[in-house]
Amino acid sequence: MPLPASVIINSIAVVGHVDRRVYGHFIEHLESCLYGGIWTADGRQMRQDTLALIRPLRPPVVRYPGGNFASGYHWEDGIGPRESRPTRFDEAWKVNEPNWVGTDEFMAFCAAVGAAPYLCANDASGTPEEAARWVAYCNDPPTTEQGRRRAANGHPQPYGVRLWGIGNEVWGPWQIGHTDAAGYVRRYRQFAQAMRAADPGIELVAVGMFIPEGSAGQEAETWNATVLAGAGDLMNYLSFHVYQPGMEGWEEAPDPEAVHRSICAAPLDIEAGIQRLRGLIAEYARGWPIRLALDEWNVWPAPPPEATSMHGVVYTLRDALYVAGVLNVFHRLCRRVPLANLAQLVNVLAAIRTNATQAIPTAIYFPFLLYQQMEPLALWPAVECPTFDAPALGNIPAIRRVPYLDVTRP
C-alpha cells in the first residue's frame, strides 16, 4: 500500500561540511582480503579487476593493517626484499603471515586508487620506539636514517602519512595486549609522545568504545571517560567500532520481516551512541578539539550455512539500505564525525568479492558508489512520513517510531 510522505529542503539551512573521509574503507591481513583479494595470491601484484571496482568509489582514506592483526604486527617484517622478509605466525587470526604485502605495497595501493593512508600502530606487542620508527620511515626526508631506509627500498619521496591509530580494541579480552583503561592511557601517552617526536604534524586516533543504551553502556562509558580524561590532550580522534546486529541472536531463525525492520532501523542506534560519546568528550576533555572516528563498522548478518567463514555473509538490498542509513547519520552529524571506515573493502564482510577469475561488487558497494558523487554540504530537510517499530535483534535494541523515509542532505 502506498504511504504518504513529504520532503521540503531549505537550501540555506546548512548543517555543515561533510568530510569525504566518512566514505573511507579498511583492509586487514585477514583471510583473502589482501592475498587473493586486492593482490594476487602470491602478493606479487595488485589485481586489476579489483582495482577497476575500487577506483570508481574514490576511497578517500583506507585504514591498515588492522584490526586485530595490528596488535601483533611488526612493520619492519614487511619491508625490504621479499626473499628477506620473515614468515610470522599471526596470533590474532592463527595463520602464518608471509609479509609479502607491507608498508610500501600498501602505499602503492593507496596511490593506485587515490586514497590517503591511515596506519594503525601496534601498541600491544610493539613499543613506542618501533612506532616512532614507522612514522619516520613513512614521513622523513631521504636524508635521515629511516628516510634513507625507505629510499633504499625504492621510495625516496616521503609518504606523508597524517593519520595514525594507536592500538585496536585493546579493551577486548580477545585482543593481544588487552588492558584496562588506565593501562591503555599509560601506553597511549608513551606512544603518542614518541610518534609526535618523530613528526609533530601527525593526527592521532585513540581507542574508544561504542556506548550502547541503558546499563549495558556503563563499561564503555567508564572506558571512554578514563581515556579522555587521561589522554585527551594527545589525541585528535576517539574511535569506536560498530557491527550490527552481530553474530548473536540468530539461533531462533527470526522472522525475515522483523530482521529487515531491525537492520534498517539500526543506524538510529549508532546516531544515539554518537551523541552519548559527544557528551563524554564535552565532560571529560573540554577544551580539546577531539572528534569521533567510526573506523570499523558494517552490517553483520548471519552467514549462510554453506559459508566457510563467519565473515562470509551474503549482502542484499536490505543491507544496502543499512549502509545508506549509516552514511545519512554521518551527514546529519558531520560536525562530530569526520572519519569512518567500512570493514572491510574486499572479501571480509565486503563491498567487493573476488574469486580466482573476477571481482564482483556486493549490494553494499553501491551506496558508496552513489554517495561519493554527492555535494559535500549537509542541509536540514523537513520530512513527514509514517513510522514503524523495530524489534530488538542481536546487539540492536528495540527502536520505536522509525521513519519509513530517511532523507540525506548533501
Look at residue 252 and tell me whether its pLDDT is greater than 70. no
Q: Which of 133-142, 208-217, 235-244, 267-276 has the lowest mean pLDDT?
A: 208-217
Q: Where are the domains of the chain?
A: 17-377
Known catalytic membership, residue 145 = no
Peptide bond into 65 cis (omega under 30): yes
Kindly give, in sequence order, each residue whose CB lies less than 8 Å from that of residue 331, ignoring residues fewer than 6 positions away.
15, 18, 378, 408, 409, 410
DSSP 404: S
Q: Reduce the DSSP state of residue 392 to 3 states and report it.
A: coil
**Fold assignment, 17-377:** TIM Barrel (3.20.20)
The single residue of 76, 169, 257, 271 carrying the catalytic annotation is 169
Per-residue pLDDT reduced to its tens digit, 311-357? 999 999 999 999 999 999 999 999 999 999 999 999 999 999 999 99
Mean pLDDT of the chain: 95
* pLDDT given at position 182: 98
Look at residue 192 and tell me whether its pLDDT is greater than 80. yes
* pLDDT given at position 172: 95
Please classify residue 198 by burial: count the beta carbons closer than 10 Å to its beta carbon, then call 0-12 exposed, 13-18 middle and 19+ buried: buried
Look at residue 246 and tell me whether its pLDDT is greater than 90. no
The single residue of 105, 145, 296, 384 carrying the catalytic annotation is 296
Per-residue pLDDT reduced to its tens digit, 13-30? 899 999 999 999 999 999
* pLDDT given at position 409: 67
* pLDDT given at position 253: 63
Q: Report residue 396's pLDDT band, with 50, 70 and 90 as the boundaries.
A: very high
Look at residue 132 and tell me whether its pLDDT is greater than 80. yes
pTM of the model: 0.96
Q: Reduce the DSSP state of residue 261 to 3 states and report it.
A: helix
Known catalytic membership, residue 296 = yes
Please name the helix (run of DSSP H) or strand (run of DSSP E) that holds residue 240, with its range, or none.
strand 237-244
Per-residue pLDDT reduced to its tens digit, 278-317? 999 999 998 899 999 999 999 999 888 888 899 999 999 9
Q: How far is CA 255 from the centre of its chain?
A: 30
Share of the chain above pLDDT 90, in %: 89
